[in-house]
Every structure is written in structure tokens, then in C-alpha cells.
Amino acid sequence: MASYETHEYDVLIIGAGGAGLRAAIEAAVGDLKVGLVCKSLLGKAHTVMAEGGVAAALANVDERDSWRVHFADTMRGGQYLSNARMAELHAQESPDRVRELEAWGALFDRTQEGGILQRNFGGHQYPRLAHVGDRTGLEMIRALQDHGIHQGIEVHMENTVISLLKTGDRVSGAFGYEREKGRFKVFAAKAVVLATGGVGKAYKVTSNSWEYTGDGHSLAYHAGAELIDMEFVQFHPTGMVWPPSVRGILVTEGVRGEGGILTNSEGTRFMFDDIPELYVNQTADNPEEGWQYTQGDREARRPPELLTRDHVARCIVREVQEGRGSPHGGVFLDIAWIKEKIPNAADYIRRKLPSMYHQFKQLANIDITQEPMEVGPTTHYIMGGIRVDADSQMTAVPGLFAAGECAAGLHGANRLGGNSLSDLLVFGKRAGEYAAQFAMENQAVPIDEAEIDTIAAHTLKPFENPPTDGNGNNMGPYDIQAQLQEKMENLVGIARTQESLTQALDEIQNLREKAENVHAIGNREYNAGWHTALDLDCLITVSEAIALAALERRASIGAHSRDDYPEKEEPGAGKYNTIINKSDDGAMTVRRESIDELRANLQEIIDEIG
């Protein structure tokens, strides 16, 4: 029988980025016992890396902004595949969620009047992103962390959950290990909130860290929840491309918000060459108008560099493919040029974009106040994820909730910059609130001991597997992970076809068999190789889901581009979501579900605002 410690909670939160922390704070409002499990140290989750800002229609800078405009912008950005109720709640509640952070100590940059300053960002009609220079995520996670540690939440740092536990239909807890000694822990809980973030580590070039292996997606899928719209993976248009070791690290959209322009090797501002129909009326048709927009001219329309991320990424790929790329396979992002427009431009850039200045200076020997950066697309975010009820964030499994990046619905086919930080606040709070309510209304259910023994044995198997297979191939975890990332990058990346996706599914199947025999050296103490071996299960599950959903959607819309189906919609198919679940025989299946018509009052907003 496996040996393990047991911890009992009313509500267990898995993940301590913005969504997990916000959920934990909310669940702890009453006198419920709340546990929070995270893979890293507290305050290190990916939220810390968010740069540009948090989107909320505070209307501090432009009084024409309102939740209705934010709603319409989010729906348009998501190509009308978003869950409208989530987009409505998000737009309505994000201003309160941002203001509340100030009550917990956050200090956003200020307007002249002393309110919260807001900046322009791609796809947002008005300056809407509350920010702190280009380190907004750090400010948010620190405010949540510093408030959260005084709410009586029990935190398990550097612990990883391997499997959810179910008793009958209901979730009854989770099984995991702590890194330091590799000991097992069982977390019994009446309600569980997944807030595990994204899946970036399935790809070779990514802005995500080692943690982003799709744990929540995979845990929920295996527990019987549905995944929705998994084909929509956001490739952020501007990641670093040089030197090779920093490839993929994010360059904030804030650079373009402050006036940065994209040019190719011929010096052309290529973004003016291709402006999608949906955005023609909102986009500047000359450089001067675009510049005026970034300087706060309310009559000017936004420059094409601030079109949605999916579109900008595709334009960059086109420039590179057609031979007009930069020396290291990207394009140029230039903020230094603003010295033609404003005095003391170098100081201005360093003040507005301090961490970008620092990052390029230190990692690439480039002074962004003097010369252009080289940038290219990097896997950044997944719009798809665990299907949840819009109001409560509960999944199809009773007692199991999800919020933040691992949940889906708000962003549709493409997420607007700034909408993820507001997403995790709004729906983190809701998940915490409804999980607490569920815990109050339901008794604890006993945990099945036999199930724990099976999972524990599986968790230790990598130590027993041989180091090479019958053909002498290395079965180490890093090799298998690298092979998966290579396949996903090449076959399920920005440009996809039926052929590439079918091949990807075959390759993923081979890698799944390999992963079952993955070998770990050493012992259970803080063993990175063993941890990587255990993460493979989740990575392979989400990779299969992404490829399968991408194969199902025979159209090119938002972040999903099919070279063999360039049209936005398949004739006669209408608007639909792709839904993935685990069938009774254990195989992954995909189906389509039509999107309901909008509620009349929401349709009116779209009709009026566009």
C-alpha cells in the first residue's frame, strides 16, 4: 500500500497564479478551510510575466468606454465564437476586480487626476489597460499574494498534482507529490478549483516556463470534464528571436501601444498591406494617423500594428516566408524611431518600457532606444480549455471548477491582450465563490484507497523502466519532451493542413507509447527528470486534443489557420465549438456543437457597436 500524508479541505485550489490566488481568497471569505497547491514557490507563476496591463472599462482616460464596448471588442476579437455570457460578465465585473486590487495594496500608474491610468492595446477601441509600466503581472500577483497570505489559506508550495480523485460522479480530492522529498500527498476536498494555466511547453518556441504542461486540462479531461475549442492556440506575434537561447521570450504588445512599428527587411511597414474587413473602419490608413492614435488623439484610428494577435502573427510569418524577414528569421520591431517625434525619446522609452529595455540590453546586447528589435511569433496562450458554466465556472464533473487560462469560453478564436489578467480576476473570484458554495451545500465523500494505490504505482514506474528501449533509443524524459515539442511546432503550429495534423496524431500516439516507458534516474528527492517524466502524460493529452480539434475545424478563423481551408467558415457549418471528451473505451473523441444565438440585448450591443 502506498504511503502518503492526507490533508483535508473544504475547497482545494490547484495553481497559484492570478486565478488560483483570487479563487483562494474568495473561497476563504467565510470560515471554510482552503488549501492551495502550486508547482513553484508562491508568487512565481506565469501571471508574474504579464507585461502590458489588465483590461477593464474604467473609462478613466476616455469616458466613451463602457462594459458594452469592452464586450463588443472581446466578441469581435474572438470572431464571435466566445461564450457571450462569459464575455458579458467579464466586461461588467472587471472594473470592480481591478479597483479591489488597489484596496489590497496594488499601485497602478496614475492619470493627471490621480486615478488609474489606462493604455491602448490591440483590439481595444479605447485606452483600457490599467498597468504598471510593463510589469503589471508582477504587481497583480504580489497584491494577491500579500493579501492572500493573511486569509488563513494553507499553501503547499512546490507540490504537483498527478491525478484528481473521484468518488462516484463527484470529485473528492487530488493526489500529488511534494518536490523536496518526493513524498506523496492526498488532498481530500469537497470542491476543487483548477487554475493551472496553459500548455505552452507542448511547443518548441514558447513564452511559457516549464510549468505550463496542460496539467489542469489533462486532469479535468481524465476526470470526465469536456475540453472546448482546443485548436485555438495563440501565437503571440512578438517573441524574441535572437540569440537562440532566448527565442520565444515575450516582447510586450505595449511596445506597439507606445508607438512601436513593424517593418520588414525592405523597410516597409507591412502591416498596412493587409487589414481585415472586420477592422477596416477602426484602423488608420496612414502612418501619421496611427502615431496620433498612440499619442492619445481621440479622433485617430489605431495603427495596423495593433490589430489582433492572430492577424499580426500571420503577417509576420508571411513576410518571413516571402523572403523579407530579418537576419534571424523574424521582422523588425522599432520603438527607437519615435525620437523623430518626441524630445527625450530614449528616457521616455526607458520609463514606459523598463523591463523590455533591460531584457534586450542584457540578453541580446540591443539598446531598444537606439535600434530595432528582431521579433517573431511565439506560443503564448491557449484560448481553448476546460468547458465551464459561465456563471459558476463548474465543469461537467460535480464539485470540479476551473478558472483562468485552463478554463475556456471567454476568448473564442482569439484573445485580446489584457483580457487574460481581467479573465483570471473575474472568473477566479467566481470559481472561488461557487466552489465555496458547493462545499457548504455538500458533505465530504470518502476517498477510494485502491485508486490511490494504482496512481502511486504508476507515479513510481519511471524509476523501474529501463534506460533504453529494445533498439537502444534513449528513454529519458527530456528526449521525449523535445521530440513532442518539435512535432507540435512543425505540424500543429501557425499553419496547419489535414496532412500535417493526421501525421501529428500518429506521432503523438508513438510518443504516448514511449512516454509509458519513460525512464527516470536517481531517487525521489527534488528530481527534475522524474518530474519531467510525470508531466509528459499531461503534455501528450493536450497535444492530442489540440491536433484533434484542429483537424475537426476545416476552416481558418482566429488563431487557427488551415492552409487547405483558407475560408473563415466551412460552407453550411455555421458557427460552432469543438468539444473533446474521453469516451467510455478511453479514446479521445471530438464533436461539434452549434453556438446559440445571442440574447437579444447582447445582439443589440453588437449591432450598435460592431
Partner 1 sequence: MAKATFRIWRGNADNAQFVDYETEVSEGMVVLDAVHRIQAEQANDMAVRWNCKAGKCGSCSAEINGQPKLMCMTRLDTVPLDEPVTIEPMRAFPLIKDLVADVSWNFKVKEQMRPFAPRPPDAEDGTWRMEQEDIDHVQEFRKCIECFLCQDVCHVLRDHSLHDEFIGPRYLVYAASLEMHPIDTENRLEELKNSDGIGYCNITKCCTKVCPEHITITDNAIIPLKERVVDEFYDPIKKLFRVFSR
Q: Residue ranges of the alpha helices (H) in 28-112?
A: 67-77, 84-103
440 binds partner 1 (CB under 8 A): no
503 binds partner 1 (CB under 8 A): no
136 binds partner 1 (CB under 8 A): no
For residue 541, the one-letter residue type is: T
**Nearer Cβ to partner 1, position 43 or 123?**
43
Neighbours of 347 (CB within 10 A): 11
209 binds partner 1 (CB under 8 A): yes
| Listed residue (392, 400, 397) closest to 426, CA to CA | 392
Per the annotation, the verdict on 236 as an active-site residue is yes
Grid cell locating 589: 473523441
> Given strand 233-240, what is the order of strands in its sheet?
233-240, 373-382, 331-334, 261-263
**Nearer Cβ to partner 1, position 86 or 153?**
153
Distance CA 147, CA 253 (A): 29
Radius of gyration, CA atoms only, the chain? 23
The stretch among 105-113, 218-226, 539-547, 589-597 that binds partner 1 (CB under 8 A) is: 105-113
Which residue of the set 236, 301, 380, 531 is catalytic?
A: 236
For Cα atoms 158, 194, 530, give the angle at the middle one, nearest 5 degrees: 40
Phi, psi of 386 (to 5 degrees): -75, 130
| Listed residue (259, 262, 416) closest to 353, CA to CA | 259
Distance CA 329, CA 264 (A): 11
Distance CA 607, CA 106 (A): 37
110 binds partner 1 (CB under 8 A): yes
142 binds partner 1 (CB under 8 A): yes
Place of cell 527565442: 247
Site string for partner 1, 157-186 (x = CB under 8 A): x----------------------x------
Q: Is the dihedral of CA 125, 127, 130, 132 positive or negative?
A: positive
Distance CA 44, CA 130 (A): 21
Among 64, 150, 568, 591, binds partner 1 (CB under 8 A): 150
603 binds partner 1 (CB under 8 A): no
596 binds partner 1 (CB under 8 A): no
Per the annotation, the verdict on 309 as an active-site residue is no
The stretch among 29-37, 146-154, 227-235, 443-451 that binds partner 1 (CB under 8 A) is: 146-154
Residue 267 CA from chain centroid, whole number: 33
The stretch among 1-9, 42-50, 319-327, 572-580 that binds partner 1 (CB under 8 A) is: 42-50
528 binds partner 1 (CB under 8 A): yes
**Nearer Cβ to partner 1, position 158 or 433?**
158
44 binds partner 1 (CB under 8 A): yes
Distance CA 411, CA 233 (A): 11
Site string for partner 1, 396-425 (x = CB under 8 A): ------------------------------
| Total residues in contact with partner 1, by rule CB under 8 A | 65
Positions that interact with partner 1 (CB under 8 A): 40-46, 48-49, 99, 102-105, 107, 109-110, 113-116, 132-133, 135, 137-139, 142, 146-147, 149-150, 157, 180, 209-211, 242-246, 249-250, 355, 358-359, 362-364, 476-478, 482, 520-523, 525-530, 532
State the catalytic residues: 236, 256
